Amino acid sequence: MKKIITCAALSLLGLTLPVANADENAIRQAFAKSMPEVKIDSVKASEVSGLYEVMVGSTLLYASEDGKYLLQGRLIDIQTRTDLTEQKLAKTRLSALEKIGQNKMIVFKPKIKKYTVSIFTDIDCGYCRKLHSEIDQYLAEGITIQYLFFPRAGKGSESYDKAVSVWCADDRNAALTAAKKDQKIAPKTCANPVDEHMQLGEDFGVKGTPMIVTDKGNIYPGYLPAKQLVEALESEKKTN
């Protein structure tokens, strides 16, 4: 998996960006010199004068105008009590999910679609199994479930191998349901997106499973019953 920047890594680096002015090329050159392994996706002026947004995958950093300082944290509009960083990250998450595409997910569709959520799941996770055991309740509420794999034990683990076998099954939906019930499924291998799912989960900062990403790009860590999830999705509609 590609490297991502963590707060600890930044503090250890003691990064100083030798930038004479704050244009995009200068910031990119500074990163290339100090952290050549980091790929910058975009550099834009932030809402704060003299502070620039630096997007690295799904990580949002801030560089000072003089290029001497790099920050990682939340930018809050105190007057409106709005998390400006989260707004930007939400859009980035949606773009990343769209890039992967529904054809690389295992999708459970309701008869009448009202909402769509993407869920990072581990086949052997207790609450992931609980959520999937109630899949009919989510579908009854009009929620499309798009599953991405995030075996917490990592690549090569039993959970990882199960995820690959589910993806390679003739009927992925049925295989996933069987695996969630702890039923034995035929071990198979084929070209699969499991590593891509895991990398995206790392980029999104998945700490546990299930992790729900809404169609607004917001995150709900952990299990939510169908009715409670609908309430959260309806609340998003009112605030966006």
Residues designated as active site: 122, 125, 128, 152
Q: Report the alpha-carbon distance of residue 205 to residue 104 in Å, rounded.
A: 20
Residue whose pair of structure tokens reads 């917490």 in the numeric block: 152
Helix (H, G, I), strand (E, B) or coil at 55: strand
Helix (H, G, I), strand (E, B) or coil at 213: strand
Q: Where on the phi/psi map is residue 217: left (φ > 0), alpha (ψ -120 to 50), or beta? A: left
Backbone angles phi, psi at 130, to 5 degrees: -60, -45
Residue 134 gets which letter from DSSP?
T
